[in-house]
């Protein structure tokens, strides 16, 4: 399949059906921990909506009515948790993003999955100011969807080092406000050691302040999804990265939660 793939997700605790709108391995960011080989700068190609609908229908037929769960999934993970628009690059760079969401919503309705599983957008949030993206978020909200908005750093230097992007923290905050105003939104944050050092005290303070700025603006966050790296990066920085101890994540999660935000931790 070109667009649709199944994942047994440690974070979801079940099967997530992925929608890859970037089969060309193109993204407008280049995160140091990215698992996509041969990643290149760019945007999603034109999406074949008919093929997407056929592939999603085939996959859900196998999961819901076929033997996919019994033959391909560990017994303790045999639950369909969500459909996740993610893949090998920034999915909102697909100009047909709103049309893609409409296709997914239609197939979910055909399988009676609306309000039974989540439709999730996993995004770096950089294109939330685009009208076509906002139209897609409204479509997602109508079927109970949610956004996972990437914030790995709230400093310019950290964004350059971790995500290889020049986006300003202020623009990230504005885009977060847009996303959360249109669709329920979580922050998703990856933390790890680089060159044997965890995020600095300055980085941690800036991140906590970013959340408080968002709350002060009236942004209604669902919470924070805090996670570590569990698979090898395919980027040049791979040898410099290492997972942090669970205790580090739990301590940082407690500091986030002290600011009045729900936190879910996975390693």
Identify the H or E element spanning 201: helix 201-216
Domain ranges of the chain: 4-265
pLDDT of 19 strictly over 70? yes
**Structure confidence by residue, pLDDT tens digits, 139-149:** 999 999 999 99
Measured between alpha carbons, how far is residue 149 from residues 58, 78, 120, 173, 187 in Å? 29, 27, 10, 11, 5
Query: What pLDDT was estimated at residue 9?
Result: 77
Q: Rounded to whole angstroms, how far apart are CA atoms 232 and 253?
A: 23
CA 183 to mean position of chain CA atoms: 14
SS3 169: helix
Query: What pLDDT was estimated at residue 11?
Result: 66
Q: Which residue has the tokens 């941690």?
A: 204
Asked if residue 214 lies in contact with residue 176, where contact means CB atoms within 8 angstroms, the answer is yes
**Structure confidence by residue, pLDDT tens digits, 21-41:** 999 999 999 999 999 999 999
CATH superfamily assigned to domain 4-265:
Aldolase class I (3.20.20.70)
185's torsion region: left (phi>0), alpha (psi -120 to 50) or beta? Answer: beta
Query: What pLDDT was estimated at residue 76?
Result: 83
pLDDT of 224 strictly over 90? yes
Model confidence band, residue 215 (pLDDT cutoffs 50, 70, 90):
very high
Asked if residue 15 lies in contact with residue 81, where contact means CB atoms within 8 angstroms, the answer is yes
Q: Rounded to whole angstroms, how far apart are CA atoms 179 and 182?
A: 5
146's torsion region: left (phi>0), alpha (psi -120 to 50) or beta? Answer: beta
Query: What pLDDT was estimated at residue 69?
Result: 85
Average pLDDT, integer, range 91-111: 97
Burial degree of 97 (CB within 10 A; 0-12, 13-18, 19+): buried
| pLDDT above 90 as % of the chain | 89
pLDDT of 12 strictly over 80? no
Query: What pLDDT was estimated at residue 198?
Result: 97
The token pair that represents 23 in the structure block: 């089969």
């Amino acid at each position: 399949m070109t667009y649709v793939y199944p994942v047994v997700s440690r974070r979801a605790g079940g099967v997530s059906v992925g929608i890859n709108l970037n089969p060309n391995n193109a993204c407008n960011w280049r995160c140091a921990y990215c698992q996509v080989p041969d990643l290149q700068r760019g945007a999603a190609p034109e999406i074949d909506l008919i093929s997407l609908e056929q592939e999603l229908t085939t996959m859900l037929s196998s999961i819901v009515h076929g033997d996919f769960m019994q033959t391909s999934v560990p017994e303790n993970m045999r639950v369909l948790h969500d459909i996740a628009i993610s893949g090998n690059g920034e999915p909102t760079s697909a100009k047909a993003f709103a049309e893609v969401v409409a296709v997914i919503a239609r197939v979910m309705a055909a399988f009676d999955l609306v309000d039974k599983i989540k439709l999730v957008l996993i995004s770096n949030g950089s294109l939330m100011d685009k009208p076509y993206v906002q139209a897609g978020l409204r479509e997602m909200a109508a079927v109970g969807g949610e956004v996972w908005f990437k914030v790995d750093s709230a400093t310019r230097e950290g964004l350059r080092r971790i995500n290889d992007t020049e986006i300003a923290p202020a623009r990230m905050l504005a885009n977060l406000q847009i996303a959360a105003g249109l669709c329920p939104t979580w922050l998703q944050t990856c933390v790890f050691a680089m060159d044997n050092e965890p995020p600095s005290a300055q980085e941690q303070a800036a991140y906590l302040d970013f959340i408080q700025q968002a709350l002060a603006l009236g942004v209604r966050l669902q919470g924070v999804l805090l996670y570590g790296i569990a698979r090898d990066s395919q980027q040049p920085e791979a040898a410099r990265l290492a997972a942090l101890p669970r205790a580090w994540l739990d301590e940082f999660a407690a500091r986030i939660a002290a600011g009045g935000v729900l936190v879910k931790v996975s390693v």
